[in-house]
Copies of this chain bind each other. A is one copy, B any other.
Amino acid sequence: MIDKVLLDFGSGGKASQRLVAELFVTHFSNAELNRLNDAAEVRCAGRMAMSTDSFTVDPIFFPGGDIGSLAVHGTVNDVAMLGAVPRYLSCGFIIEEGLPMADLERIVESMGRAARHADVRIVTGDTKVVPRGAVDKIFINTTGLGEIVADPAPSGDAARPGDAVLVSGTMGDHGLTVLGARAGLDFEAKVRSDSAALNHLLVRLVRAIPEIHVLRDPTRGGLATTLNEIAQSSGVCCEIEEDAIPVRPEVAGGCSVLGLDPLYLANEGKFLCILPEARAEEALAILRADELGRDARRVGSVTDAAAGRVTLVTRLGGKRLLNMLEGEQLPRIC
């Protein structure tokens, strides 16, 4: 029995074929994939959302997830942020020669489970195996395709003065967890990645409230960076109340020990929703009725005070600018 990934597995030859048949088709099985052509035939209808992400997270297994489930959730969520129902995923593996087969199987199984849960099909894929040292363990790219059901689709440039800013839950969980797992810190037991597929909740939300202006998931760069992008694209000011931002006590504690700011840490199962004030309470009710939106909060509002800026109203009532992430707080977080 072969217990490590060999170069041969990515050759396009017999060993590649066996890997595809025994591992990928087993865990991802669906009519489109199983034909094993160079491309998959998929059915689409009009306006579609397309998104891609490469996952390089280190370590590849961490509390609350692994690189496989993360690769499904991350792209499913990006597609859903356009007010779309994710339908299809492609996946491209780049694997280091010598990766234990057991690790690859665990990752592929986790991807299959995450895809079934999100109700998307992994319809086409590619596997490259590179010599030892040319990549660190395994990197995964996923690209997603979904049917847009919101009209118009929510967009980062659509925030308007008078809108409310909601977050769907606590900030910083994923970032702190990965950092902890990498460093072997002992808060590891208490914090878990929030990695999750948000599409079912998001589709319910945009169907109930078509007036939603912006949906965005605060991944790399965290809430602060995402808000700045929106403020710039929309030419508005986002005014956020520090006190209103939900952060788990254990995450706040871990951050204060390590000198990290949870507003700049990556999240993988949360989103920002910006919509007319009048619909904010209804949106919060929909969010809170779902396990993934249980801790949803209204954190601020959109104004025309200072175009392109994000201001934070601090606990003491002062106001300060909240900037984009500068420098790299934490590489390989997703």
Residues of chain A touching chain B, judged by Cβ–Cβ distance below 8 Å, are 6-8, 10-17, 35-54, 56, 58, 77-79, 81-82, 84, 88, 90-94, 123-126, 128-131, 133-136, 139, 141, 143-146, 148, 153, 155-157, 216-217, 219-221, 225, 229, 233, 266, 324-329, 331-332
Contact = CB atoms under 8 A, between A and B. Distances in A.
Contacts of A90: 50-52, 143
A39 B126 contact: no
A325 B12 CA distance: 8
B136 A56 contact: no
Given A82-B41, A221-B12, A233-B36, A136 B143 contact: no
A266 B17 CA distance: 16
15 contacts: A11-B221, A13-B220, A13-B325, A15-B326, A37-B81, A38-B51, A38-B82, A39-B144, A43-B47, A50-B124, A50-B145, A53-B92, A54-B92, A133-B133, A141-B141
A153 B16 CA distance: 24
Contacts of A94: 54, 56, 94, 139
Given A133-B136, A134-B135, A326 B13 contact: yes
A268 to B, nearest CB: 13
Contacts of A217: 38
Given A11-B325, A143-B143, 17 more contacts: A12-B220, A13-B328, A14-B325, A16-B221, A37-B156, A38-B77, A39-B78, A39-B81, A40-B50, A40-B51, A43-B48, A52-B90, A52-B126, A54-B92, A129-B331, A135-B139, A141-B143
